Each structure stands twice: as structure tokens, then as C-alpha cells.
Amino acid sequence: MNIRKDEAGCVTGDYILKTGFKVDKIHECNNGWDSWTLTDYSKDDLLFLTGGYWTYYIKNKNGKQLWEGWWNSNDEFDETIKQLENDIQLYPR
């Protein structure tokens, strides 16, 4: 399931942008019978969000993976980002 579609009932690309992330790169994907796009995002050059078809990955500016998974709601997304931002402030990487 592509969780960036509204009908999936999960976090959309539009919502990610509303939370302060910006688009870094758009990937055109094709498996031979279907095509789609996946977008890489960043926030304040501290959090880098990639993936989004099956799994999202969030890394820091040094490329260290901080989180992996997906969100079932905007609230879950907000909580994850808030926690990662707090961690970065407490323990700069």
C-alpha cells in the first residue's frame, strides 16, 4: 500500500509539507506495470525523510538512521517528529 495516498488513511505528502518539511528530490519509480513517485523531504537540514511506499526512513544530517516505519495518523507523525527534534536538541549529532 502506498501510504502517501489519501485513501490509505495515513500521512500524505501535503501534510508532511504543512509541518515544515521541504521537498528535496522526487524519484520516478516503475516496476514494469505501474509507476509512481516518491519524494525525499528535509526539515531545517537536520531531519531527512525518505521512502514512503512501504516504509519511511528518517536520518540525521550525518546519514545516521534515526527512525524507520510508517505512521497511521498525522498525530503519530507529529509525535515522532517532535521526539526526534527534542533528541537532536538534547544530543546534537
Confidence of residue 24 (pLDDT cuts 50, 70, 90): very high
Is the pLDDT confidence value at 57 over 60?
yes
| Residue where the block lists cell 516505519 | 69
Mean pLDDT across the stretch 21-37? 90
Pick the residue with more confidence: 20 or 88? 20
pLDDT at 92: 60
| Residue where the block lists cell 502506498 | 2
Pick the residue with more confidence: 93 or 46? 46
Model confidence, pTM: 0.81
Mean pLDDT across the stretch 40-58? 91
| C-alpha cell belonging to residue 21 | 518539511
DSSP per residue over the chain, as a string?
A: --TTSGGGTS--HHHHHHTT-EEEEEEEEE-SS-EEEEEEEEETTTEEEEE-SS-EEEE-TT--EEEEE--SSHHHHHHHHHHHHHHHHHS--
